[in-house]
Amino acid sequence: MANKNEKYKIKHFPKQSQPAPGLQNRMSPIPDDGAASYIGHDRLKHKKALITGGDSGIGRAVAIAYAHEGADIVLNYLPEEASDAQEVQGIIESLGQQIKLVPGDLKSESFNQKLVNEAVAFLGDINVLVLVAGKQQAEIDITNLSTQQLTDTYATNVFSLVWLIKAALPHLPPNSSIITTNSIQADQPSSFLVDYAGTKAAIKNMTISLAKQFSNRGIRVNSISPGPIWTPLQISGGQLPENIPNFGQSTPLGRAGQPAELAGAYVFLASDESNYITGESIKVTGGL
């Protein structure tokens, strides 16, 4: 049997950079989104999912896996990421599932309400709310960390989580699942990600609070904690440029993860197989 760890091992990533937010279709190598490899088993048949950050990286792999599992999807992304989002739309429609693209910036509280309104108009009630979108910009010196970056990072990663859940709550029936995305940075923060790491620690704790608050509604709230995953986030300012060639090689598995390798965890938490799990964070970190 082929060693799957060797399949994804890349000795050195080519040096590269893009303006934020970055496009997956311009990366080298292009991340594995699971479109050609994921095998569905109808675990999310008839589910209706709203996914943020679904144009590329982890969110894209989740959307594709959900479609393989039988879910219909509303996908949010930034307008600058339209070319990636349109690729996802084509993949999902080819699998026979419905998808609606809703571009917009989650830093706007009013847009979060609009996103939910459009999702409900398209899907009806929402069974699965998947919050993947995030902002990450490396800054080695806190004296250079601007108030604008601090505000934008917290608005995108933390405030939007509250805004979106508040808007979606009336449309989440019992047995729904909310899945947030924290990070290894919540537990092992890097010196150059002061603002981002703080938001991820907040998300991890908020997930536990919300799980307790929503338990009497029959809504489960869990989180995924990714490690170093090869996504546009990394090459559009999320990592220091000198870290890119050896990105992820310090993990026990000796490599960065691919978005497709997280999709199964998001499927599990959305499925009825995880009915007795809430307030948890699943680490997908290559052993960190």
Is residue 77 part of the annotated active site? The answer reads no
Closest CA to 269 of 227, 224, 212, 204: 224
* β-strand partners of 49: 73, 128
Neighbours of 212 (CB within 10 A): 11
What stretches of 15-174 adopt beta strand conformation (E)?
48-52, 72-77, 99-103, 128-131
Cβ atoms of 7 and 37 closer than 8 Å: no
Relative to beta strand 128-131, strand 99-103 is unpaired
Helix (H) or strand (E) run with residue 179 in it: strand 177-181
Helices 260-270 + 57-68 axis angle, to 10: 60
Neighbours of 37 (CB within 10 A): 13
Neighbours of 191 (CB within 10 A): 11
One of 8, 154, 196, 266 is an active-site residue; which one?
196
Report the chain's C-alpha Rg in angstroms. Answer: 18
Catalytic residue set: 196
